[in-house]
Amino acid sequence: MSAEPQARESTQVHGGRVVAQRLAAAGVSKLFTLSGGHLFSIYDGCREEGIDLLDVRHEQAAAFAAEGWAKATRTPGVCALTAGPGVTNGMSAMASALMNSSPMVVLGGRAPAMRWGQGSLQEIDHVPFVAPVTKSAVTASATAEIGSLVDAALATCLQPPGGPAFVDFPLDQVFMEVEPAANGAAELPDVAAIPGATDIAHAAELLRAAERPAIMAGTGLYWAHGEGALRRLCEELRIPVFLNGLARGCVPADHECFFSRARSTALKGADVALVIGVPMDFRLGFGGSFGDDTKLVAIGSAPPASPHPREPAAELYGGIAATLDALRAEAAGGPDRSEWLRTLRETESEKRAAEQEELNDSRAPLHPMRVYRELQQVIDRDTIVIGDGGDFVSYAGRMIETYEPGCWMDPGPYGCLGSGPGYAIAASIARPDRRTLLLLGDGAFGFSGLEFDTMVRHNLPVVAVMGNNGIWALEKHPMEFLYGYSVAAELQPELRYDKVVENLGGHGELVREPDELQPALERAFASGKPALVNVLTDPSVAYPRKANLA
């Protein structure tokens, strides 16, 4: 054999190494997965390229962790799911990421192409059923195209609106050898640098003339890195701000222009409302949360896939940060809004004062509001708080104060229980200098509770607080209101989930009385282990829900 063929052969790498090379070139440092033979070459490639493998107990957690990484860092989260059931187990997280616009790449194993249709283990064509819950879904047809497909997936997941991109690799293609991928990162969208909307004159005119403007901002603002521009806008033009989803913390909870309890008063009373990076879905009453005469200005990184349920007076699509800065400059010089802000602050203060009775409730089992009073005593300004539950987490959305971007995560409009542990795993890895607090319902624990084993194995000191009322409260109370009875809504009362976590190697606490809670929380955080504080809460308490879900 000549020297030339030997040299050429020695430079070749298998397809899994190419996958890892393209991920590493894009700055990916973590891959969330559950071991599967179809993925071995990708694991080998990651090992060679310095990408850490984080293995979980169920593929849904791997996929939710990838989304959680995206939420914590605003960079693509990546997971690898083995063929067949591995991919289908991750589909809820893909759907969640699509509805949250979370940039995420899902790498799928796949039965070998050379035997396709002959009945290989876990042989199924993923693309037709994955496509509806992703931005793109493709299969590598040759080893030589693997690198370009990974680059394309990374670009697609970031392009506004963000979302999951799926690529699967036939077993034979990903194990075959090919020339190494080209050096250098692929050209990826810089979301923060996207030019703003061009025709802002009408929107600026509406805002300049507004006496009672309001801002309602959501997750799209966070993905667009728009928090600085939003803060400049609200401070200079004196506009009250309300936030939901990942936008929480983009204006600190103690900022003079931030409000939460006065939302209904402000949105109904506003003459102009800027609706920034948030759809007018059930959370905004399909547009009905605003006053009948309120003029709406819809602002987003890209036009919505479907028409707004309520027609805006103006629509601005482009880079959100640049759009807000331009709007601020063009709308300067409006009327004095100090009285509007003062009125809303009075409403805010009155509603907060009305909560004191429940915050100080001494009942046992505990009122959820008392739980959140105690939690506020131990949460730092940069604690990452993750909600995974129904009524218990609804109280959290109302009571937890958020001061920095990326410090609040919930399932979003897809509302998928079981997302929390995956999010918490990713957040703890991405932000090891911060506390990670996971808020769980006892129902939600059943979806992903064994991921506490993952936290133990990877030394992730996530502290979880469970509101344990022994029921599916979000279903039980409405069903009883409608029918006078409930079915399929009971769980075991006072179940010792804390013992489950202890037996997985973590720290457990049981709380029956209000005065037991704060010491239990302090011990949990001091343990340095994954911990569960199992708080028995009153099943008769129903969250006072106002939103029409459909």
Distance CA 312, CA 296 (A): 5
Q: Is 255 in the same domain as 337? A: yes
| 396 domain residue, yes or no | yes
Q: How far is CA 276 from CA 168, 473, 482, 550, in A?
A: 35, 32, 36, 22
Q: Is 168 in the same domain as 198? A: no
- pLDDT at res. 3: 43
* 136-139: strand order across its sheet: 52-55, 30-33, 77-81, 104-110, 164-170, 136-139
| 542 domain residue, yes or no | no
Q: Is 129 in the same domain as 87? A: yes
Provide CB contacts within 8 A for 144, sequence distance 6+.
Answer: 178
- pLDDT at res. 25: 96
SS3 category, 106: strand
Q: Which of 279, 312, 347 is a domain's end point?
A: 347
| 549 domain residue, yes or no | no
Q: Which helix (H) or strand (E) holds 531?
A: strand 531-536
Q: Is 208 in the same domain as 312? A: yes
SS3 category, 441: strand
Length of the chain: 550
Q: How many helices (H) and strands (E) does the chain have?
A: 24, 19
Distance CA 115, CA 128 (A): 19
Q: Is 164 in the same domain as 54? A: yes
Provide CB contacts within 8 A for 488, sequence distance 6+.
Answer: 472, 475
HSE-up of residue 473 (Cα within 13 Å, Cβ side)? 26
Do the Cβ atoms of 72 and 384 come closer than 8 Å?
A: yes
| 240 domain residue, yes or no | yes
Q: Which of 288, 322, 347 is a domain's end point?
A: 347
Q: Is 282 in the same domain as 402? A: no
| 96 domain residue, yes or no | yes
- pLDDT at res. 548: 64
470-493: b or e for each residue (b if 16 or more CB lie within 10 Å)? bbbbbbbbebeeeeeebeebebee
Do the Cβ atoms of 232 and 206 come closer than 8 Å?
A: no
Query: Residue 22, Cα to own-chain centre: how many angstroms?
Result: 25
Distance CA 53, CA 33 (A): 7
Q: Is 49 in the same domain as 135? A: yes
CATH number of the domain bearing residue 29: 3.40.50.970
Give the count of domains, the chain.
Answer: 3
Q: Is 343 in the same domain as 359? A: no
Provide CB contacts within 8 A for 190, sequence distance 6+.
Answer: none
Q: Is 232 in the same domain as 181? A: no
| 42 domain residue, yes or no | yes
HSE-up of residue 166 (Cα within 13 Å, Cβ side)? 32
Q: Is 281 in the same domain as 362? A: no
Q: Which domain holds residue 282?
A: 194-347
Q: Which helix (H) or strand (E) holds 146?
A: helix 146-158
Percent helix, strand and coil across the chain, each to the nearest 5: 45, 15, 40
Q: Is 281 in the same domain as 368? A: no
Q: Which of 306, 322, 347 is a domain's end point?
A: 347
| 311 domain residue, yes or no | yes
| 146 domain residue, yes or no | yes
- pLDDT at res. 87: 98
Distance CA 267, CA 433 (A): 37
Q: Kindly report whether the peptide bond that precedes residue 365 is cis, defined as omega within 30 degrees of 0.
A: yes
Grouped pLDDT means (10 residues each) for the chain, 550 residues: 46 96 97 98 98 98 98 98 98 98 98 93 96 98 97 98 98 94 84 95 98 98 98 98 98 98 98 98 96 98 95 98 98 97 98 97 98 94 97 95 98 97 98 98 98 98 98 94 96 98 98 97 97 98 77
Q: How far apart are the first and last CA of the chain?
A: 71
Phi, psi of 525 (to 5 degrees): -70, -35
Distance CA 75, CA 429 (A): 14
Q: Is 101 in the same domain as 36? A: yes
Distance CA 308, CA 275 (A): 11
Q: What is the DSSP string of 361-389?
A: ---SSBPHHHHHHHHHTT--TT-EEEEES
Strand (E) positions, 59-120? 77-81, 104-110
